[in-house]
Structure 1
Amino acid sequence: MVQPISTQAGMMAATPRQRRVASMIVWGAAGLGALAVLGAAALWFHYGTTVFFEMISAGISACF
């Protein structure tokens, strides 16, 4: 059976500062994702579905 390289006693818990930095990175990524979705929705409403579907069909036809 495979044995773990480090034991539970050898593993250290993350410090509060590391948790805070990780939390800030996650919230920042979530914020950027939300901005991207809002931007896409704004462009969809501004240009309409016709332009969106034309871009999709042009992309598919470029592949073939």
Structure 2
Amino acid sequence: MDAETLINYDLAKKVPDMISRGFTIETAYGEIVVWPSEAEPFATLVKAMLERQRQELHR
């Protein structure tokens, strides 16, 4: 798959899933669990990042 297809998939499936089910951040020191009730600010940032990446593909 090309980069734009992957980004579109992330925006369509993964970002909404972050909000509905929460997610885990994995670091070299262990995991941080983000519950659904706390996930929206993170998902908003990830969405903005992915949208910028998608725009960069067309420059």
TM-score using structure 2 length: 0.38
User: Which structure is richer in relative contact order (CA contacts within 8 A, separation 6 or more)?
Assistant: 2
Larger radius of gyration: 1
The structure that is helix-richer by fraction is: 1
